[in-house]
């Protein structure tokens, strides 16, 4: 099957590393020249099928393309997906599928009219740990309450939501949508819930603002006398630890070291986290009443030093706690945790512990079999809808 890939950044590169047999990259669309060239070489895509902008791509004739993977920036998901759907192509669309309820419904209707499938990249549905939580939660009987925390972690928070491309609402939408659409989708799926009512949301920027800067903090980490003791040091993250650097392109004639030095000195990622232009929340609490009377409490935490999700579910027969890759279950007063329910070794496993590859396999199998993908637009609507209601 021939596909087009729109947006060849971090996510697309991961998907392209695990494409199922029989799927061939026929066209690439990517404005960054280095990324386009590297992906074209790796996947043997000829120059006439490589496009540096989506207008040229959509105005060129294409025969034989059956599906598209869209992994461009969030605000482009809807226009690019609409254009693909209107051409009769199935779409694997990065989350969030849209940034408003109205847009989401428009896309759903367009896909239905065109008779194509749109799968949303909500890989928790295919992640072994989260699938197991859902399986065990079914033993609790009717659920009355779910408490869920998403700890973003200091590195991801600083890189992505303070210094990075998801730090400004106007450029990317609210953080609850961009980060917690995974959580909302997982929880609505687990609860079998179709609607969230009485949605209340409260968020704030509690840490990453200039009034919280320690005395003497410089505008850039390379100039900062406090750099060695700061948990958000860009010098430590990118230069010493060499983490979160996969998005740093290395032009010909330069080294990664050159690129990191330049970024720290002049780029967005060298800025002090207390002196950025971020306006997305760093903490947010959302409560809702789900069908069946389930009380849902969700908390997004961008200021703690831990990373990961903590989920507690209370049901008629007991309680489930999922944390750091481990699930424990208490049923009718006794603990029934299983040894095999320790998934902590998967915490740092590549490709979201294989869920990314599973997502692709599921999507292409479903297209071939005329079935809906695991996280189809229809299935993913309740989680997105909860995020839209939570707002910014
Ligand atoms: N499912 C997940 O777990 C997950 C994780 C991270 C990011 N994401 C989502 O995946 C998407 C991509 O994120 P990323 O981390 O790969 O970002 P990225 O910035 O690395 O990649 C996005 C790419 O899109 C390109 N682009 C910009 N305008 C374009 C256009 N008009 N047409 C085609 N391409 C264009 C950019 O140049 C860039 O290379 C985002 O929507 C993000 O929210 C999903």
pLDDT, one tens digit per residue, over 241-285 is 999 999 999 999 999 999 999 999 999 999 999 999 999 999 999
Q: What is the pLDDT of residue 349?
A: 76
Q: Whose C-alpha lies nearest to ligand 1, atom 39?
A: 9
Q: Which residues pair with residue 148 across a beta bridge?
A: 298, 311
**Residue list, ligand 1 pocket, CB within 6 Å:** 6-11, 29-32, 35, 54, 71-74, 76, 94-95, 121, 123, 165, 178, 247
Burial class (CB in 10 A: 0-12, 13-18, 19+), 99: buried
- Among 54, 63, 62, which Cα is nearest to 36's? 54
Which residue stretches of 60-174 are H helix?
Answer: 77-86, 101-114, 128-137, 154-156, 169-172
Contacts of 10 (CB under 8 A, 6+ apart): 246, 247
At residue 351, does pLDDT exceed 90?
A: no
Angle between helices 101-114 and 77-86 (to 10 degrees): 20
pLDDT digits (tens, 9 = 90+) for 62-90: 989 999 999 999 999 999 999 999 999 99
For the chain, give the mean pLDDT. Answer: 95
In the chain, residues under CATH classification 3.30.360.10 are 124-208+278-347
Q: Which atom of ligand 1 is nearest to the CA of 32?
A: 37
Homologous superfamily assigned to 2-123: NAD(P)-binding Rossmann-like Domain (3.40.50.720)
In the chain, residues under CATH classification 3.40.50.720 are 2-123
In total, the chain counts a number of residues equal to 392
pTM above 0.85, yes or no: yes
At residue 37, does pLDDT exceed 90?
A: yes
Q: Which atom of ligand 1 is nearest to the CA of 247?
A: 20
Pocket test for ligand 1, best of 10, 60, 80, 120 (most atoms within 8 A of CB): 10
Q: Whose C-alpha lies nearest to ligand 1, atom 5?
A: 11
Question: Quick one: CATH architecture of 124-208+278-347?
Answer: 2-Layer Sandwich (3.30)
Q: Whose C-alpha lies nearest to ligand 1, atom 33?
A: 7
- Both tokens assigned to 27: 């066209």
Please report the DSSP string for 249-276 in residue order: ---TT--HHHHHHHHHHHSGGGB-TTSS
Return the SS3 of 295. Answer: strand
């Amino acid at each position: 099957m021939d596909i087009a890939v729109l947006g060849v950044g971090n996510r697309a590169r991961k998907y392209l590393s695990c494409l199922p047999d029989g799927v061939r990259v026929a066209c690439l669309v990517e404005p960054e020249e280095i990324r386009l060239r590297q992906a074209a070489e790796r996947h043997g895509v000829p120059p006439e099928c490589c496009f540096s902008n989506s207008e040229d791509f959509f105005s060129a004739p294409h025969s034989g393309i059956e599906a598209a993977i869209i992994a461009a920036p969030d605000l482009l998901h809807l226009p690019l997906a609409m254009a693909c759907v209107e051409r009769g192509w199935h779409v694997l669309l990065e989350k969030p599928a849209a940034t408003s309820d109205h847009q989401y419904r428009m896309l759903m209707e367009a896909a239905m009219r065109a008779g194509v499938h749109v799968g949303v990249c909500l890989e928790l549905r295919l992640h072994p740990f989260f699938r197991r939580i859902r399986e065990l939660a079914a033993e609790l009987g009717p659920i009355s309450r779910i408490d869920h925390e998403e700890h973003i972690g200091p590195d991801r928070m600083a890189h992505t939501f303070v210094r990075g491309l998801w730090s400004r609402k106007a450029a990317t939408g609210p953080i609850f949508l961009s980060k917690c659409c995974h959580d909302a989708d997982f929880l609505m799926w687990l609860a079998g819930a179709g609607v969230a009512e009485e949605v209340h949301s409260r968020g704030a920027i509690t840490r990453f603002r200039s009034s919280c800067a320690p005395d003497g903090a410089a505008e850039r980490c390379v100039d900062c006398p406090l750099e060695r003791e700061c948990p958000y040091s860009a010098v430590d993250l990118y230069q010493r630890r060499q983490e979160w650097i996969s998005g740093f392109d290395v032009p010909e004639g330069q080294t990664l070291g050159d690129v990191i030095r330049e970024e720290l000195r002049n780029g967005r990622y060298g800025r002090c986290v207390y002196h950025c232009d971020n306006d997305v929340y760093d903490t947010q609490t959302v409560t809702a009443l789900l069908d069946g009377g389930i009380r849902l409490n969700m908390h997004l935490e961008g200021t703690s030093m831990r990373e990961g999700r903590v989920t507690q579910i209370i049901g008629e027969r007991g309680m489930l706690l999922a944390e750091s890759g481990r699930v424990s279950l208490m049923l009718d007063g006794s603990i029934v945790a299983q040894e095999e329910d320790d998934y902590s070794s998967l915490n740092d496993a590549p490709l979201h512990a294989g869920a990314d590859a599973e997502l692709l396999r599921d999507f292409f199998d479903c297209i071939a079999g005329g079935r809906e993908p695991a996280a189809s637009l229809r299935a993913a609507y309740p989680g997105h809808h909860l995020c839209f209601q939570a707002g910014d």
